Amino acid sequence: MNKKRVVVAMSGGVDSSVCAYILKQEGYEVIGLTMLKSPDDFKQTDMANGANKEANPELDIVYDARRVAEMLDIPYHTIDLKKYFKEKVIDYFVNEYVSGHTPNPCIICNKYLKFDALLKEALAHNAFYIATGHYARIQYRGSKGRYILKKAKDKAKDQSYALYRLSQFQLEHTLLPMGEYTKKEIRTIAKEANIPVASKPDSQEICFIDTDYKDFIKHVAPEYIVAGEFVDKKGN
């Protein structure tokens, strides 16, 4: 496989866009990729005002990612992971939540979906590496003969916890340029390079939830929402 070729996961945000930019500046042959994950039958609903967002929110992601790819003059395409995302991530999230547990869908997605899909695409394009906009660092420790995951330079933005379940094989083939920068530095790079999404706000929530958790579960798994009664210790 070509060690100077890398498949970059592009979400249309500033981090993944600068990730692609930095790697190209470092001499890598960069291929941009967006993974489509929201199921077609899932209409995100704004419960606060009752407005239904009929348009697929991923259209904006693809639009922004494609703009960045064109600006960087790199090949770009999308892959459909909707079926697998529902099976691996959304179903897990719902089952954990209704069981009284606190799910972390990002960890599950990274381990069993995102990085596997990226590596398959890398193999298809004869690329040795994949890359994401995560704030974390990977280091090979020769004394132990293994790769280790380390916190990012920007401790406030560190995302190493979300990658802790990655395998040695996945770590070996992953580049994480963001780990060596602060968020402020990334914003500066984006603006100086005239990247189209340089001023785009950071995403804060889980990617497939546009409202609060209970509204999401009520929408995708209404069978779990059952009316009940509040009673005191005396049974009133």
Pick the CATH number of 2-224 from 3.30.70.20, 3.30.360.10, 3.40.50.620, 1.10.10.60: 3.40.50.620
CB-based burial label for 49 (10 Å; 0-12, 13-18, 19+): exposed
How far from chain centre, in Å, is Cα 125?
21
Query: What does the pLDDT look like over 183-235, one tens digit per residue?
Result: 999 999 999 999 999 999 887 667 777 667 778 888 878 888 787 788 888 88
CA–CA separation, 2 vs 214, rounded Å?
Answer: 46
Inter-helix orientation angle 14-25/183-192, to 10°: 70
Backbone phi, then psi, for 13, in 5-degree steps? -95, 175
Instruction: Please answer whether residues 35 and 61 qualify as being in contact, where contact means their C-beta atoms are separated by less than 8 angstroms.
Output: no
Active site annotation includes 207 = yes
36, 71, 207, 221: the active-site residue: 207
Active site annotation includes 109 = yes
pTM for the complete prediction? 0.85
| Residue 139 CB partners (closer than 8 Å, separation 6+) | 147, 148, 150
Domains of the chain, by residue range, sit at 2-224
- For position 56, what pLDDT does the model report? 61
6, 74, 94, 109: the active-site residue: 109
Query: What does the pLDDT look like over 59-78, one tens digit per residue?
Result: 889 999 999 999 999 999 99
Residue count (the chain): 236
